[in-house]
Amino acid sequence: MNMRPDPTFHATAQLAMQAPVENYGFTIMLSPDGEQSDGIAVVDLNPDSSTYGQIVHQVIVPHKGDEFHHFGWNACSSALSPLTGHAFLERRYLIVPGIRSSRIYIIDVKDPLNAKIHKTIEPEELFEKTGYSRPHTIHCGPEGIYVSTLGGGGEDGTDGPPGIFIMDCETFEIIGRYEMDRGKQDKHYDFWWNLPQDYMVSSEWGLPPQFEHGVVPEDLLSNKYGHSIHFWDLRKRKNIQTIDFGENYQMALEVRPAHDPSKSYGFCGVVVDTTNLQGAIFTWWRDDEGNWQAKKTVTIDPVPADADDLPDLLKGFGAVPPLVTDIDLSLDDKYLYVACWGLGEMHQYDVSDPMNPILAGKVELGGIVAKHKHANGKGFAYGPQMVEISRDGKRVYWTNSLYSTWDDQFYPNDEGGQMVMANVGDDGGFELDKDFYVDFPKGYRSHQIRLEGGDCSTDSFCYPNV
């Protein structure tokens, strides 16, 4: 407990943008075959440091086969909520779930160069207290840390629907399930909210048998992955509205609400439209009557390709789908970054008008067929995937792996983990930084990135920009 609020907590997104820049990044190290233990790589992000762009510390966990994916902070700017007044928490621990093992590690990164495991929550405790499995997205909210899960109970995680559970933000005890009334929600992926407006939005990937051993083509072509988003009364813990994008919009993944809590809109990325292989972004908003609406505001076309250049999975289609697998919104709510993992492109959309996004920049890197090289001449395995933006919006970091078994299906000949960075121009546009290229240790792939002091997919702000 501090006497003053943690200096990395900010009342508004604007104030967070003006705060000192990040010195370290924390990136998932994933051993795809479980040969080695997964871990967190601490990456030096200070350009003035002699170890800039290098992995300066690794926290390798004792177990194997956890499959790290997403992770998050124990506390963020939501601690300045005038309602809960938890202002004296420290942003100190990373909550790192294994989506294959359901084990959760709490990692103390107060001193990034000596980051270490603080606590381990065994899968049995999670199963017993929540009936959920395969924990995924982390956000700090009212009553504690919220964690979404991808699976329900039972061996294959299909015994009951997946959902969200709450964890104590100081002791990391699992408190229990979040939902009082889940309505139509029967799959889960990401979630986020607007704390003052008291709503939450959640999304859908698929159930564990649909992803753990690889994408199931029959399920995809018969539109059996998730294609809805759910709106919740956050404090009543009740699903108040479900919007179905349409069954062809397969895999509604990342949910990115505007950071300014006076705004009532956000975005959701859809991996693939099964009617035409397009990738899509939906804008969702609350209308004047208080009902939620959603509209497709971005489409990204597939690129025709020779069947010989395509993996077995895609041979029949003769094209590379964009595969929109991650999106991230800058803190000023101006730029939405969209990872097109299949094409090998990172797009930057100006979403100043959220109903009319305009493509403002594009970086080409990797890709199933294109295989674009980095600006420094080196290769890039897979394509741009997990993307994270610096608080000031000037640097965009990303890594390359989607999910162990899926990487192997879409990129059967690729292997490796890379983390790169692009600098954003003053008037939009962005370019790869030649000097920033982190090659992960042999046998490791890379996934989500968290930035020291918070980033653009962590902090929830409780006060509007002025």
Partner 1 sequence: MTIDGNSLTALWWAVIFSGIYHGINPGMGWPLAVSAGLMEQKHWALPKALAMLALGHLLAMLAILLPFSMMTVLLQWESEIRIGAGMLVIAMGCYLLINRRHPRILARVHPSRLALWSFLAAMAHGAGLMLVPIYLGICAIGSSEAGHLAARTLMGNNIGNALVVAFVHTMTMTIAGGIIATIIYFWLGLKFLSKTWFNLDIVWAISLILVGIFGIYSTYAGH
Give me the residues that bind partner 1 (CB under 8 A), please.
Answer: 1-5, 7, 9-12, 15, 80, 82-88, 142-144, 170, 195-198, 235-236, 261-262, 462-464, 466
**Going edge to edge, which strands form the sheet with 174-177?**
133-141, 144-151, 164-167, 174-177
Using the structure block, give the residue that is written with the tokens 């919220």. 146
Distance of alpha carbon 208 from alpha carbon 193, whole angstroms = 25
Distance of alpha carbon 8 from alpha carbon 19, whole angstroms = 8
Which residues are within 8 A (CB) of 303 and not within 5 positions of it... i.e. 6 or more apart?
A: 319, 320, 343, 369, 370
Element (H, E) at 368: none
CB of 23: closest distance to partner 1 in angstroms?
21
- The smaller minimum CB distance to partner 1, of residues 105 and 146, is found at 146
- The smaller minimum CB distance to partner 1, of residues 144 and 384, is found at 144
CB atoms within 10 A of CB 87: 16
302, 327, 333: which is closest to 385 by C-alpha? 327
- Asked whether the beta carbons of 71 and 87 are under 8 A apart, the reply is no
Distance of alpha carbon 389 from alpha carbon 367, whole angstroms = 21
- The smaller minimum CB distance to partner 1, of residues 142 and 214, is found at 142
Q: Please tell me the number of Cα atoms within 13 Å of 224 on its side-chain side.
A: 13
- The smaller minimum CB distance to partner 1, of residues 1 and 50, is found at 1
CA distances from 46 to 20, 25, 53, 110, 331 (A): 11, 10, 8, 17, 21
Q: What secondary structure letter does DSSP report for 114?
A: G
- The smaller minimum CB distance to partner 1, of residues 197 and 242, is found at 197
CB of 147: closest distance to partner 1 in angstroms?
16
CB of 2: closest distance to partner 1 in angstroms?
7
φ/ψ of residue 416, rounded to 5: 130, 165
Handedness of CA 303, 306, 311, 315 (dihedral sign): positive
Handedness of CA 428, 432, 433, 438 (dihedral sign): positive
CB of 212: closest distance to partner 1 in angstroms?
34
CB of 80: closest distance to partner 1 in angstroms?
6
- The smaller minimum CB distance to partner 1, of residues 265 and 341, is found at 265
CB of 242: closest distance to partner 1 in angstroms?
22
CB of 13: closest distance to partner 1 in angstroms?
11
Distance of alpha carbon 298 from alpha carbon 451, whole angstroms = 28
Radius of gyration of the chain (CA): 20
CB of 262: closest distance to partner 1 in angstroms?
6
- The smaller minimum CB distance to partner 1, of residues 33 and 168, is found at 168
- The smaller minimum CB distance to partner 1, of residues 52 and 88, is found at 88
- The smaller minimum CB distance to partner 1, of residues 125 and 198, is found at 198
CB of 130: closest distance to partner 1 in angstroms?
17
CB of 198: closest distance to partner 1 in angstroms?
6
- The smaller minimum CB distance to partner 1, of residues 29 and 195, is found at 195
